Structure 1
Amino acid sequence: MVDVGLCLEALSALSGCSVQQSGGASLLGPQDFVNIVALRQFYKREGLQQLEYPSLGSLSLRDETVNLDMNDLYSAPPALQGPEPDAKTVIHINPGDFFDRHYDYDFSNVKDGEQRFVRGNEPYFRPCGWRRVALKVSGQYDDGSDVWLGTGSQAWPVSYQGLHMDGSLILTRRKGSEEDGGLDEVAQSLMDTSAFGRGVYSTPDVLLAEKYCKTFKSKIDGKTYKVLLQNRISPSKRKVCQRDRVWVVYVPQDHSQVQTKALVQESVRPYGLLLKEA
């Protein structure tokens, strides 16, 4: 079982905040971490300097930089910051009401080979090589149903989200070519929202997500880890990009921050924190 302290370090790396253990109720839930990870990238691309988030206040984006060089995808951007210029926002969570450890799964030595899995009529590429810490999300949504989390045709497809995932995903390869790193008609269509679009990006391919993941060095064991979020994505909200294996939830131009947050919440739901030694 993954150490709780290591899980908190992983959440800190993803959110840019200082996530600390609490004996009381968690300040934020798993859905909030998806929102923060997705929205920090979205608003940075929009050129905004602050992310307003309920219960946390204003989180600064001014010092965050994202290096799109494929050889430096693991570089760590400065943390989201609270009112003090050099102080990380502190988030207290109770592991007992945040994680669902009965559903943890160790994929670190699993090799699926030719086996095929499906979630919501979409191929499910299991996170082989990773350890998954389950998040407590069952029964946590207003509809009261966990169909989205199941394995049947009404379930939502699985997507993976790394810290550096945004519209640059469609610029790293030519359309239809995984071998050629040049740009083609995709670069010419950046102004077309159907091709690039302002939105929240993820991928069903854990290998692609790994290239855009966050890494951190643990103070607990001194090892360096990669971290991703494993989500389910609404099939009605998700659109397929020009680049294969890239999905986006489009955000309309006239959406406020409140509306954008609501859109993310109804479109992308987390259920696993993934960790792997770098």
Structure 2
Amino acid sequence: MKIQQHSLSIIKAHAEINLSADEYLSDQPLSSEEKKYYDECKQYYYMTKRPLISVSDEIFDHNVAIESLILKFGIDEDCHQFKLQNFLNNICSMLNITMHDISIKNIQNGSAILETEIFGKLESKDKALKIRVMYESLTDKMQEEIAKLNVFFLYMGSIEAFAKQQNYRSEIKLNPQFNRTYGPGHTYWTGELKDGRDRGGKPYYCPVGWQRNSLYIIDNLRARYKGWCICYHGTKFNFGLAILLSGLKPADNTAHGEGIYASPSIIYACHPRYAEVKDIEPKHQNEYFKIGKDQYGNDKYGKYVQFVLECRVHPSNIKKIGRETLGVRTTIDSNVSNEEIEWVIKTNAKKIVDFNDVDAEMICTGIMIRVTEQHPQSLPDSKWWSG
């Protein structure tokens, strides 16, 4: 009841204000790179019915002084038709802020790309606290409500971090020369891979049935991460799709408890508890969901998709190696013992797991995708799901 009353008071406070988008239109056009990025964010928005949300990790770093914070919205409307005041009334109500908390910076052409400064009158530590609370309030339901305002993108953080993110995005492109399809007739091996590379003393087995979309981290990846183990982290459809479409790995706001859970077995990591199984609607089929050609030579698309993150972790950052926690009584993966199939990775109390950070305890080197015609539960490697 109190929240509802607060929202009503916000709307009432805005009733006498009537800001127009025309007052804030910028002469500076979006760069081709920005346009492409926002188009990719829109694809995410159309498929998930929620905005792609990005936050700078500095707001969770108590040692960083933040001078200025922005909220940047991508709104799927013609900027000349955009009803700015209506939008502000609604978004302020949803985020439990008032017009006194924000100031409009500009609106860029194309879709309405609205940049606002937030909490400008507060001290640095208070700004960070407020924006953290706001970010943590963005439940799935809240994101769906924000999407109803035609918001396809939302950024929270400093303008400097946003610029850095955009520059980094141009470098983090999917790394196609290292993309792989795993299985007979493609990249394939049996047993532990014996190629002479140092993977921290942990074996690496062929992830049969999966495609790997490599992510650019740094040029000297093998030298920089020599001795790091390969492991897998199951993820939600939305998270994997955000990586594929935008090239950026959004921060993971999940509560990790004692650490991040990973596995040396992709067979274990892709269980639906960890890696969501998603139906692909025909209208959303694209190049990532192709499974071959039909008898007439036309592209053939799968009906189900799963995403798993391929990661690397230094052995010293593996806090615990333990048994499976799904209560399975059968062998999960013939290559990995059920007693050693789950790893807990240190996070060093970091609130956000930033997979873009080359100095993180665990880095993401690729996005694994499995597209199938039949539900993956029917696959031979998935028989253990029911056992």
**Paired residues of 1:81 and 1:89 also in contact (CA < 8 A):** no
Residue 132 of structure 1, CA deviation: 0.7
Return the letter of the residue paired with 2:231: S
In structure 2, the partner of 1:267 is 361
Shift in CA distance, 197/277, structure 1 to aligned 2, threshold 3 Å: same
In structure 2, give the amino acid aligned to 1:272. Answer: G
The counterpart of 1:18, out of the listed 52, 66, 71, is: 52
Larger RCO (CA under 8 A, 6+ residues apart): 1
Partner Cα distance (2:202, 2:350) in 1: 31
Does the 8 A contact of 1:120 with 1:156 survive in 2?
Answer: yes
Deviation at 1:59, TM superposition (A): 3.6
CA distance in 1 between partners of 2:146 and 2:44 (Å): 23
Residue 162 of structure 1: aligned partner: 234
Structure 1 CA distance, aligned partners of 2:55 and 2:261?
A: 22
Aligned to 1:105: 180
Matched letter for residue 235 of structure 2: L
Map 1:1-278; keep pairs closer than 5 Å: 17-18=51-52, 58-60=134-136, 63-64=139-140, 81=143, 84=146, 87=151, 89-90=153-154, 97-109=172-184, 114-117=190-193, 119-139=199-219, 146-149=222-225, 154-163=226-235, 198-211=258-271, 212-216=274-278, 217=280, 219-221=284-286, 223=302, 224-243=304-323, 244-251=340-347, 255=349, 257=351, 266-278=360-372
Letter in 1 for 2:52: S
Q: TM-score, normalised by structure 1?
A: 0.51
Aligned residues: 189
Q: 1:30-66 CA distances to partner (integer Å, 9 max, x unpaired)?
A: x9xxxxxxxxxxxxxxxxxxxx9xx9995446645xx
Larger Cα Rg: Structure 1 or Structure 2? 2
The offset of 1:245, in angstroms, is 1.2
CA RMSD of aligned residues (A): 4.9
CA distance in 1, matches of 2:202, 2:144: 40
Task: Look up the match of 1:193.
Answer: none
Give the C-alpha shift of residue 129 in structure 1.
0.8
Task: Provide the TM-score with structure 2 as the length reference.
Answer: 0.38
C-alpha distance in structure 2 between counterparts of 1:249 and 1:94, whole Å: 26
Give yes or no for contact 1:232–1:270 (8 Å, CA) kept in 2. yes
CA distance in 1, matches of 2:47, 2:269: 16
Q: Verify the 8 A CA contact 2:311 2:363 in the aligned structure 1.
A: yes
What is the alpha-carbon distance in structure 2 between the residues aligned to residue 206 and residue 11 of structure 1? 28
Structure 1, gaps ≥5 residues long? 20-26, 32-51, 65-77, 165-195
TM-aligned CA distance change 1:121 to 1:242, over 3 Å: closer
Distance 1:231 1:256, change over 3 A: closer
Cα distance change on mapping 1:277 and 1:10 into 2, 3 Å = farther
Between structures 1 and 2, the one with greater helix share? 2
What are the ranges of 5 or more consecutive residues in structure 2 without an aligned counterpart?
1-38, 58-127, 156-165, 237-255, 287-300, 324-339, 373-387
Percent identity (aligned): 16
